[in-house]
A and B are shown apart, each in its own frame.
Chain A
C-alpha cells in the first residue's frame, strides 16, 4: 500500500480540525453553556416550591435566557439530607455562582459565613428570623426575598390596632420560629401603645402549655397572640374556651394547616391570623391560579423572585465580569427608572436592559423588591394575608403590606424607637458630700458559647474603666468566664468585642467566676457584706460614686444568673434601700443591658440612683455585631451603641448618652429612670467613671 504523503496528512488534519472547531462552535451556539443556579431548598416533603421555581426558569428561558444562555437549576433537595453538606457541595462547584436557599434561619447561620467568605451569593426566600439581617447586613453576599417575621409582627400589631385592641398576651414556642415574635412583639407594641400584658415562651408539644395559657389569661387580655405549630394552637384554643373568658386567639403562619381545623372542629370557626402572601397589585396570585389551577403557596412568590434576582445578577455579571457578585446584585436591586414587572416579558426586557449596561428598577412577584439601601439583605415590604377560619377553611379577608418603600427607608429588622426621649429633670438644688472615691462592679452572669456577647461586653466595660484610670482594686469583676476555654471557641483563651479585635480577657482580674457568680454574691458585693464566700465587696461611703454595669439575660422583673437563680425587682429595691440606709454611695449609676431591663428598677425609691437600660419592661433587647470568623454574636445592641457614643464623644453626659442611645438602639426602647437627688445627669460619663 502506497504511503500517504505528509502534506496530505497535514491537510486532512487541518480540515478535520476546522470541521471540529466549527462543530464545537456550532454546538455551543445551539446549546450555549447554561447559567447554573444552585437550589438549596426542600423539593420533596409537601412544600411546593418546584412549581414557582420552574415557572420562573421557564419565563427566563422562554425568550432567550441570559444572552442566549438558558438557566439550569442545580437541585440539592434539603428535604432529603444534610443541608450543610449540600451547601458545601454547591460552594465547591465553581460553575454555580449563586445559590437560592437555604430554607431555615438556622441553616443561614450555619452556611452564610462560608458563602460570604468565598464571595458566592446566597438568596433565601424562606429564612424569616429577624436577626439575620443584623448578622449579615452590610456583607452583601446574603440576601432574601422576604422580610421575614419582623414584618409579620408589625402587621399583626397594626391589625390589632385597627381593631382597637388595647391589651394582649403573647405565647410563643421556645424554638427558632418563635424567637422573632418573642424578640419583636414588645417593640412594636410599645411603639403603637398596645399593652403587652404578658409574654411567655413555652416548650412545643409540652403539657405545661395549658398552665401557660392560664397564666396568659390571668393578665386579662382581649387577645392572645400565639406563634406556634397547629397542634399547640389547638391546645391554646381549647384552654381559652374552657376558661369561659371572652378572649380571642390570633395565630401566625405556621398554624395554617387543615390539621388545626380538623382538630378543633366547629370551635375553629372565627380563628384568625396572618400568613405571607404576594402583593395583590403584582397580579402574581391571579396569574398563578390561571396557570396552575390552584392558589400559590405562602412562599411561591419569594421563591420565584429569588430565581429572577439570580438571573438578573448573572446577566449583570456577564456584562461586567470584573465586578464582584456583591456589587452586581447591588446594582441590580438598587436600580432606577420605570419599575419592571415579574412576568416573562418583563424579565426578558430587564435582562436586555442589564446587558445593555442599564440598571432598571426591578420589582417582583411578591412586591416591589426595594431593598434597604445601606444594609442590604431585606426587601422593605412584605405582604401578609389576614385570614379567618370560616366554613371550615382559611379565608383571606384582606392583604396588608408591612411598611413603606423608598430610598430613605430601612428594613424593619433595623427599626429603632420613634418619638423623642424625655430625660428626667436635672436636680441642682441639693448639696451632696464631695466625691472622694469611685468604685465599680461589672457583672457578666451568663454561661455558654451562645452568650459570648455578655462576657465580651462585660470585659469591654472593664477594659474601658481600666483605660480611664480605675485600678483593679476599685473594680469588682464578676464574670462566669467560661468563654475563653469553651470548646467551641476557635481562638482558645480569647474574648474580643469587635471582629478580630484585641483579646480583652488577657490581663483581666476576675474577682468572682463560675459558680461564684450568683445573685447572692451580687447582693453581698453591693451591700458591702463580707463573708467567706464573698471576701471582696464594695467598701464605699457617702462620698463614693458607685457604678454598676450588668449584661445578661432578663425576663420580666428578673435577671438570670447562670447558676440557676435570678435577681429580681424586689432584690434590686432591697439592695438599693440597704445601700442608701448604710450611706454606701454618693451617686449610684446602673447600666443594665438585659431584656425587659426597665422592670428591675421599677420599684426603686432610694435617692441618688440613675438607672439606664436598653429595653422597656415589655420588650427584649438584641445582640449586635456578628463575627463571621467565630460564628457568634460578640456584643449587645445597647452596650455596643452606648460604648460607641462614649468613644465618639468622650465628653458625653448621661443625659446625652440616654438620648443618643434611644435613637440608635435597634429593636428596643432605651429607658432612663432616676430617683430623687440625682445630680450627675449632666455630668460627662467619663468624668463620673473616674477616681
Chain B
C-alpha cells in the first residue's frame, strides 16, 4: 500500500514538476534589456535630419539588443524613467538628444541624472562626466558646397538659404562663402534666413520657395539650402525654370529634384546615433566634447549622378576644405 502511494506520489510530482517548468517557460515576462531614449527635434518623415537619426536607431536595434523609447519633444517631465516620474517602468541607460535646440535642456538633465549617460548630437559645448556633446561641424562640407556652387554657376551669383539665425548654422554659412570665394572671389553670395530666430524656419517650404524665387529672379543660379524641410520649397522653385540649381542638405535629396539638385551636403547623424548606442552597450561610452566633420566622415558631399562630373573638380578641394574646417574650429575656440 505504501509502495503504491509512493508510486502515485512520484507520478504526480513528476507531472507537476513538468507543468511548473512549462508555466515558468511560457508565462510572458518583461524583458530586462538596457533602455535607450532618443529625443528628436521633430517628427519622422522630414526626409532629412530626424529620418537620419531614426535610421541609426533602427540599424542599432537590428544589430544590438536594447529597448528604446522615442520622443519628439524635450518635455522631459514626461520621460517615464527619470526621477520625478515614479510611474516610469524603466530607467534609461542612455538618452540621445538630437538637435542644437536641446543644448541647455540636455545639460540640465544630465546634471540632474548622474546615473544616466547622455549623447547630445549637434550640441557644441560643455560635454563632461555623463554627457557627451557631439558637435557635427558642417563647415568643411559647406566649403565644398561653396566650391561646387562656384564651379557650376554661370551667372557668378550664388545663394544660401538658412532655416534660422544660430551659432550652429554660422558654420554652414561661413564655410559656404569661403568655399565660393576660394574658387572665385568676385562671385556674389546672396544670403537669407527663412525665419530670424525660430526653428519654425526649418518647416516652412512656402516661405523658402518665396525666398528662392526672389534669388533666382535676381540672377542667382545655385542655392545651398540649409533649412531642413523648408528646402523642399526652394527645390520646387528651382524646377520652375531652366538653369536653376540646388545643393541639398542632411541626406541625399537628389530624388526630390533630379534635374535641379546638383549634390547634397549630408550629415551622418545615423552613424553618430549607431556608434553612440554601440559604445553605451559595450561599456566604452564616455562623456566629453566631440567635434566631427569632413575628416571623420560624418559629413560629406553626395552627388546627383546627373552632375557627378563635378566630383572631379570639387574633390580637388577636399584637403583645403578639411584644413579650413580645422582652422575654423581652432579660431572659434
Enumerate chain A residues within 8 angstroms of B154, measured Cβ to Cβ. none
| Bound form: Cα–Cα A345–B15 in Å | 35
Complex Cα distance, B254 from A393, in Å, reads: 12
Residues 252-280 of B contacting A (Cβ, < 8 Å): 255-259
Q: Any chain B CB within 8 A of the CB of A676?
A: no
A536 located at the interface, meaning its Cβ lies under 8 Å from any Cβ of chain B in the complex: no
A25 touches B22 (CB 8 A): yes
Shortest C-beta distance, A431 to chain B (Å), equals: 62
Q: Complex Cα distance A395/B47, Å?
A: 13
- The answer for the CA separation of A32 and B51 in the assembled complex, in Å, is 38
The 8 Å CB contact of B58, one of A11, A63, A64, A286, is: A286
CB-based contact B45/A281 at 8 Å: yes
Residue in A286, A343, A352, A395 whose beta carbon sits within 8 Å of that of B61 in the complex: A343
Task: Write out the residue numbers on chain A whose beta carbons fall within 8 Å of the beta carbon of B70.
Answer: 341
How far is B256's CA from A398's CA once the two chains are assembled, in angstroms?
Answer: 9
- Comparing B26-34, B155-163, B168-176, B220-228, the segment that makes contact with chain A is B26-34
* B100 touches A (CB below 8 Å): no
Select A22's contact among B18, B68, B256, B259, beta carbons within 8 Å: B18
Chain B's nearest CB lies how many Å from the CB of A51?
Answer: 15
Q: Are A345 and B68 in contact (CB under 8 A)?
A: yes
Residues from chain A with Cβ under 8 Å of B257 in the complex:
390, 395
Decide: A396 and B255 in contact? CB cutoff 8 A.
Answer: yes
A64 to B27, CA, bound (A): 10
> Contact between A352 and B14 (Cβ–Cβ < 8 Å)?
no
Decide if B308 is an interface residue (CB 8 Å cutoff): no
Cα–Cα distance between A341 and B72 once the two chains are bound (Å): 14
Asked whether A344 is an interface residue with its Cβ less than 8 Å from the other chain, the reply is: yes
CB distance from B36 to the nearest CB of A (A): 11
B7 within 8 A of A: yes
Q: A390-B258, A395-B256 are in contact. Are A283 and B15 (CB under 8 A)?
A: no
Within 8 A of A (CB), among B7-55: 7, 11, 14-15, 18-19, 21-22, 25-26, 28, 30-31, 43-45, 47, 51, 54-55
Which B residues contact A (CB, under 8 angstroms)? 7, 11, 14-15, 18-19, 21-22, 25-26, 28, 30-31, 43-45, 47, 51, 54-55, 58-59, 61-62, 67-68, 70, 232, 236, 239, 255-259, 306
Contact yes or no, B61 A393, CB < 8 A? no
Residues of B close to A352: CB separation below 8 A: 28, 30
Across the interface, name the chain A residue whose C-beta is closest to B255.
A395
Q: Do residues B45 and A345 form an inter-chain contact, with CB atoms below 8 A?
A: no
* A: number of interface residues (CB 8 Å): 40
Q: How far is the CA of A348 from the CA of B232 in the complex (A)?
A: 37
**B51–A286 contact, CB under 8 A?**
yes
Mask for A276-306, Cβ within 8 A of B = 1, else 0? 0001111100110011000000000000000
Q: Are B258 and A282 in contact, with the CB atoms below 8 A?
A: no
Which of A25, A67, A290 meets B19, CB within 8 Å?
A25
When the two chains form their complex, are residues B31 and A63 in contact, meaning their CB atoms are under 8 A apart? yes
Contacts of B61 in A (CB 8 A): 343-345
Neighbouring A residues of B51 by C-beta, 8 Å: 283, 286
In the complex, whether A110 has a CB less than 8 A from a CB of chain B is no
Q: Are A286 and B11 in contact (CB under 8 A)?
A: no
Complex contacts, B67 vs chain A, CB 8 Å:
345
Cβ-defined contact, B258 with A395, below 8 A: yes
Which of A28, A286, A351 is B44 in contact with, Cβ under 8 Å?
A286
User: A391, B259: Cβ atoms under 8 Å?
Assistant: yes
* CB-CB nearest in chain A for B304: A391
Tell me the nearest residue of chain B to A398, going by C-beta.
B232
Instruction: Please name all residues of chain B whose beta carbon is closer than 8 Å to the beta carbon of A26 when the two chains form the complex.
Output: 18
Report how far A583 CA is from B65 CA in the complex, Å: 87
Is the CB–CB distance between A68 and B43 below 8 Å? no
| Pair B7/A283 contact, Cβ less than 8 Å | no
Chain B residue numbers with a CB within 8 Å of A68 are 25-26, 28
16 A-B pairs with CB atoms under 8 Å apart are: A21-B15, A21-B18, A67-B26, A68-B25, A68-B28, A279-B45, A280-B44, A281-B44, A283-B44, A286-B51, A286-B58, A290-B55, A352-B28, A390-B258, A397-B236, A399-B45
| Beta-carbon contact of A391 and B58 below 8 Å | no
Please give the distance in Å from A311's CB to the nearest CB on chain B: 14
Tell me, yes or no, whether A14 is within 8 Å of chain B by CB: yes
In the complex, A569 has a CB within 8 A of chain B: no
Q: Is the CB of A520 closer than 8 A to any CB of chain B?
A: no
Closest to A283 in B: B44
Q: How far is the CB of A215 from chain B (nearest CB, A)?
A: 32
Minimum CB distance partner of B24 in chain A: A29
Q: Is the CB of A391 within 8 A of B54?
A: no
**Interchain CB contact under 8 A, B62 and A291:** yes
Enumerate chain A residues within 8 angstroms of B232, measured Cβ to Cβ. Answer: 397-398
Task: Check if B54 sits within 8 Å of A286, measured CB to CB.
Answer: yes
Distance A391 CA – B306 CA, assembled complex (angstroms): 9
User: A22 touching B258 by the CB < 8 A rule?
Assistant: no
Question: Is the CB of A426 closer than 8 A to any CB of chain B?
Answer: no
Give the docked Cα–Cα distance between A343 and B51 (Å).
16
Instruction: Give min CB distance, B263 to chain A, whole Å.
Output: 15
Contact A32 B26, CB 8 Å, known A286-B55, A290-B55, A290-B58: yes
Contact of A397 among B14, B18, B54, B256 (CB under 8 A): B256
- When chains A and B are docked, how far (Å) is the Cα of A64 from the Cα of B21? 17
Q: In the bound complex, how far is the Cα of B51 from the Cα of A491, in angstroms?
A: 59
